[in-house]
Chains A and B, each alone.
Chain A
Amino acid sequence: MVESKKQWKAWLYLAPALVLLAIFTVWPIINTVRMAFLENYSGLKAAGGATFQFGIGNFKKVLEYKKFVNCLKTTSLLCVATVPISTLLALLISVALNSIKPLQKLLQTIFFLPYVTNSIAIGMVFAAMFNIVGSFHGTQNELIATAGIVNNVIEFFGGTAVNWINSGSSYAANITVMIIYIVWNALPFKILILLGGLQSINKQYYDAAKVDGSTRSRILWRITVPLLSPMLAYVIITGFIGGFKEYTSIVGIFGATMGPPDDGGRLNTMVGFIYDALSTNSQGRASAAALILFGIILVVTLINLSVSKKNTHY
C-alpha cells in the first residue's frame, strides 16, 4: 500500500499522461456520445450558434439508411470470412515454421514483411495484380486482352479471366479480392503471436504425445491447439475488432470510391460510412454510427470472450 502521504506524488507522476488521455481520449468519447444524441447535430450549425434538442433521431436516421445497412453487411461479411481463414492459415503456417530448423529465421522475416509495409502500398500492388487492362468488343463484352498476374495465371491454366475489380465486376469478385487481401495482410501479426506461443510450449508434451502414439494431426488438434488457445483467443478477438474497423484495405485497392468505378460505395464499410458522414458535416449521424459500431464490437467481443473462457486453458 502506498502511504497516503506519498499518494499525491503518484498522482503527480501520472498527471501528464492523465491530462493527455483526458483531452484526447476521454473527452472525445464523451463528446461523441453527446453529439450522437443531439438531433441533426452538424459542425456548421453548431458554429453558427444553433441549439440542438436531445433525442435518438440520429440513430433512427442511420439505421434507416440503405447505405448503412449495406456497409454493415459488407463489414460483417469480410469479418466472418477473413478471421477464421486467416487464423487457420496463421496456425498452420506457424506450426510449419516452428517445425523446421533451417531457414526458419529467414522465412519468419518474409512472413512478417507485410506487417511493416504500408497497407495502401500493398493495396496498390494487389490492385495491379488483380487488374484487367484490355478492351471488350462485340455485344457479348468479350475480353480480348488481359493484364494483371492473377488473370494471366488463370489463363495460363486454361481458365477464363475474371473481372475482379474493374468496371462491370461482380460483388462476389470484389469481395473475393478483399478477402484474399485482408487475410494476407492479417497473417503476419497472427503468425508472430502464434509462433511465440508455440515456442513457449514445453517440448516434453510432444515427446509424451509421440510415446503415446499420436499422429501428427492428433497432436495438432489435441495438444498444440489447446495449449495455444490463449494466443488463439487473442488473435481471434483482435481479428474481429480489426475486421469491424476495416477501411484502409478497401481504399488501398479500390481507392476513395470504395468500389469499382461504375458502382462506387458498393464496398463501403462502417468506418467508411462514418468518414462519409463527417465529410458531409453530419457529425451527429457520424457519432451515432460510431456508437453503433462500438456496440457491435462490444457484443461480438463479449461473445468471443465467453466462448473462449470455456475453451481456453491458461
Chain B
Amino acid sequence: MKVVLENLTRIFPNRTKGGEDVVAVNGFSFEIPDGKLVGLLGPSGCGKSTTLYMICGLQKPSGGKIFFGEDDVTDLPPEHRGVGLVFQNYALYPHMTVKQNILYPLQNLKGEDKLSKEEMLKRTVEVAKLVQIDNLLDRKPSELSGGQQQRVAIARALVKMPRVLLLDEPLSNLDARLRLQTREEIRRIQQETGITTIFVTHDQEEAMSISDMIVVMKLGVVQQIGKPQNVYDDPANLFVAKFLGTPPINVFEGEVRGGMLFVGGDPILAVRNVPDQKVIVGIRPEGFILDERGPMHCHINGVEVMGRDVSVVATNEASVNPVVRSIISSENNVDTSTGIIRYSIKPNKLFLFDHETEERIPFEV
C-alpha cells in the first residue's frame, strides 16, 4: 500500500495571548512507494513524530491530505485506517499476558472482519513466531526484557495485518548492542511481510542503515528525501550534511577566488563554475587523504585509534567546530612530530554551501 502525503500541515495554536502558533509540520508532500521502509529523520522538535501520528490518525492535520493507496484517510479515525503503531515505550498493556496483548486488536474486530477464536489464536501464534517470541506467550510484559517487549509491540501492531506499519523511535529504549540486532530484525520483519513501514528516529545511523528511503526534517519542513546513500553523498543543504554521518562533517569558513577554493589561506581545491564569494565548506571525515605535499594544513591534536581506522583530531583556524576530525586507514603512519598535518581532499567528499542560505552550491572539479 503506497502512502501519499499531500501538503500535510499541523499547527499547534499558541496558548498564551499574542504568542505565535507553532508550525510542527509545514507542507509535507511525499509519496511513499508500496512495501518500502521509510525513515523520518530529524532532531527533536522537527515534526517527525507529529507526522507519524497524523498518518496514524491520533492527531488531526491542520491542512493537507493523507492517502493510503487511492483512499483518502485524512478524516478517518485510527481504527478504520488499518494502521499498526509501535509506540516509543511500547505501551504494552501491563495487566495482560503477551498472548492477550497480541490478541487484543483481533478481539476488537467487528462485523464481517470478526474472527473465530481458533483463527485469532492461529494468527497470534503466527505473528509471535515471526517476531520470535512464541515461547513467551504466557508472560506479562514486566517479565520481559526491553528487546522482547519491543517484539511484542511489533507483533501487536502486525497481527491485524495493517496496511501501514508505523514505528515511533523503535530503538531508542534499547541498549547499543540490542539496537543493532533489533534494527536488523525490523528490516527482516518488514521484508518478510512486505508492509509499507514508516519509522521515526533522531539517530541518523539507525535511519541510514535500514531504510529504503529517508526523509530529513527540520523545524517542520522537509529538507531532503532520498535513498540514504544519495542523501549522504549529495546533501541539499548544510543542515542535512551536518545531520548525517558519524563522526559529523567538518565545517569550515572558506572563500572562492578565481575558481580556487581557499580555506584558512590554503588553496585546497580548484572549483570551476563557482563565482567568487564567501562560502561554507563541508568536508566529510573520510574526505581527507594524508599527503605530505597536500594543500590543506591543520595543527594536530592527537590520534584516536579505532581499530580498523584512526581518527586524527586537529585544529584549523577556519574551522567552525573546535576540532577537525578525519578518518584515515590505520595502515598510514601519522607523523605527529612536526605538529602539522597536511591533507589533500577528495573532491566528492567536499561540499560547498551558500554563506547566507546554507543551500548547496554545485561545482565542477
Contact = CB atoms under 8 A, between A and B. Distances in A.
Contacts of B57: 211
Contacts of A212: 79, 104-105, 108, 156, 160
Contacts of B312: none
A213 B162 CA distance: 12
Interface in B177-236: none
Interface string A182-223: 000000000000000000001011011111111100100011
B93 A211 contact: no
B85 interface: yes
B91 A207 contact: yes
Interface in A255-283: none
Interface string B41-83: 0000000000000001110000000000000000001111001
Q: Summarize A's interface: helix, strand, loop or mixed.
A: helix
A204 to B, nearest CB: 4
Given A211-B84, A313-B94, A222 B104 contact: yes
Contact of A227 (B78, B84, B89, B95): B95
Contact of B87 (A204, A214, A229): A204
Nearest to A313: B95
Contacts of A43: none
B109 interface: yes
A209 B157 CA distance: 11
A212 B87 CA distance: 12
A222 B91 CA distance: 14
B79 A213 contact: yes
B89 A218 contact: no
A148 interface: no
A226 interface: yes
Given A218-B108, A222-B104, A210 B91 contact: no
Contact of A210 (B79, B89, B93): B79
A207 B87 contact: yes
A205 B91 CA distance: 6
Nearest to B88: A204
B111 to A, nearest CB: 11
Contacts of B87: 204, 207-208
B108 A210 contact: no
Interface in B86-109: 87, 89, 91, 93-96, 104-105, 108-109
Contacts of A209: 104
B58 A205 contact: no
A211 B95 contact: no
Contacts of B84: 211
B89 A204 contact: yes
A211 B58 contact: yes
Contacts of B56: 211
Contacts of B108: 212-215, 218
Contacts of A207: 58, 85, 87, 91
Contacts of A222: 93, 104
A210 B95 contact: no
A211 B83 contact: yes
Q: Among A204, A205, A210, A212, which residue has the most Cβ atoms of chain B within 10 A?
A: A212
A211 B59 CA distance: 12
A205 B90 CA distance: 9
Nearest to B108: A213
Contacts of A211: 56-58, 78-79, 83-85, 157
28 contacts: A204-B87, A207-B58, A207-B85, A208-B85, A208-B87, A208-B93, A208-B156, A210-B58, A210-B77, A210-B78, A211-B58, A211-B78, A211-B83, A211-B85, A212-B79, A212-B156, A213-B78, A213-B79, A213-B109, A214-B79, A214-B104, A218-B108, A222-B93, A223-B93, A226-B93, A226-B96, A227-B93, A313-B95
Given A211-B57, A213-B109, A223-B93, 19 more contacts: A202-B91, A204-B89, A208-B87, A208-B93, A208-B156, A209-B104, A210-B58, A210-B77, A211-B56, A211-B83, A212-B79, A212-B105, A212-B108, A213-B79, A213-B108, A213-B160, A222-B93, A227-B93, A313-B95
Interface of A: 202, 204-205, 207-215, 218, 222-223, 226-227, 229, 313
Question: Ordered nearest first, which 4 A-B pairs have the shortest CB separation?
Answer: A213-B79, A313-B95, A204-B91, A212-B105
